[in-house]
Each structure stands twice: as structure tokens, then as C-alpha cells.
Amino acid sequence: MALNDKRQIKKNRTFLSSLGHSLDGLVTVFKEERNMKKHVAMMVFVSICAAIFQISETEWLWLALSISMVIINEVWNTVIENLVDLTTGNKYNEIAKKVKDMSAAAVLLSALFAMIVGCLIFIPQLLELFFE
Ligand SMILES: Nc1ncnc2c1ncn2[C@@H]1O[C@H](COP(=O)(O)OP(=O)(O)OP(=O)(O)O)[C@@H](O)[C@H]1O
């Protein structure tokens, strides 16, 4: 989102200005983080499957929770990667490695959780489709 003052360092004065910067952040994550495109593609695919199988309201909620967790963790992972790059100036550092690896681990754990939720919802649907 194009904001008037591109080099603003002062606090946002209006809600619209805060919203604009938040959307800027979202666009940046989407553009710069290769995995984010995969997460969004997966989210669209899973949502289409969920609509086709007409899953229950509770299942939709679990799906929404697990997808949100992956996407939010990916945003934080990107934040941490950028902060590490800013502080290390892209030089190798043992602590930087630990921080980035742990941050990636958070995304991995949430993706595993989403996979388990997906299996619990869709495997019974697929079994019903093929064996009944
Ligand atoms: N400054 C650094 N010092 C030490 N190790 C680093 C440094 N920068 C990156 N690494 C190592 O390289 C890996 C990849 O870092 P990078 O910042 O490129 O993340 P990425 O490829 O975007 O990862 P992800 O797939 O989690 O999004 C890190 O997990 C870490 O092990």
C-alpha cells in the first residue's frame, strides 16, 4: 500500500495509517518469503477441499486455527530473520544461526499441527468416498 511518507519514523497518527503499514508488512512477507506463497496456496487448496466435502462448523474452526497458526508463525519467522540480518549485517554468527533455526522450528511445529488436523478431517472423508 502506497503511503505518503515513505521514510516515516514517527508514530502512526490515524487508524488508516496503522492499517496501511500493517498491509505493507503483509505484502512484504508475501513477496520476500518463498514459503509464504506455498502456505497461501495450501490454504486455498485445503479450503476448496473443505467446501467440496462440506466439513462441519467445528472442523472449519480447527482448520482455520491451524492455518492461521502457520501463517502467523511464518510472519514472525520472517520478522526474526530480518532482525537477525539487521544485527549481524549478514555475517555468520553462531547465535544468529540458533535464533533463525529455532524460529524456523516454530513454523515447522505449527505446520505439523496443521497436517495432523488436516489428516483427522480429510482421511475419514476420503475413506467414506472410496469405501462406501
Ligand atoms: N547470519 C547467520 N549466521 C549463522 N547462520 C545463519 C545466518 N543467516 C542464516 N543462517 C543459517 O541459514 C538458515 C537459513 O537462513 P535464511 O535467513 O536464509 O532463512 P530462509 O532460507 O528464509 O529460511 P526459512 O526456510 O526458515 O524461511 C538459517 O536457519 C541458519 O541456520
ipTM: 0.92
What DSSP designation does 1 have? Answer: -
In the prediction, which pLDDT does 4 show? 58
Fold classified for 15-131: Helix Hairpins (1.10.287)
pTM confidence score: 0.88
- Per the listing, cell 467440496 goes with 52
Backbone angle region of 54, left / alpha / beta, with phi > 0 → left and psi within -120 to 50 → alpha: left
- Which residues, judged by CB distance below 6 Å to any ligand atom, belong to the binding site of ligand 1? 35, 77, 81, 88, 92-93, 96-97, 100-101, 104
- Model confidence at 27, pLDDT cuts 50, 70, 90, reads very high
HSE at residue 7, side-chain half, CA atoms within 13 A, is: 0
The atom number, within ligand 1, closest to the CA of 104 reads: 26
All structural domains of the chain with their residue ranges = 15-131
- Model confidence at 130, pLDDT cuts 50, 70, 90, reads confident
| 74 assigned to active site | yes
Among 87, 97, 101, 109, name the best residue to mutate to test ligand 1's pocket (greatest count of ligand atoms within 8 A of Cβ): 97
d(CA 69, CA 107): 8
Mean pLDDT value across the chain:
92
CA dihedral 100→102→104→107, nearest 10 degrees, is -150
d(CA 103, CA 35): 14
Annotated binding residue 81: yes
Once rounded to an integer, what is the mean pLDDT over residues 7-13? 79
Of the residues 32, 57, 74, 128, which is catalytic? Answer: 74
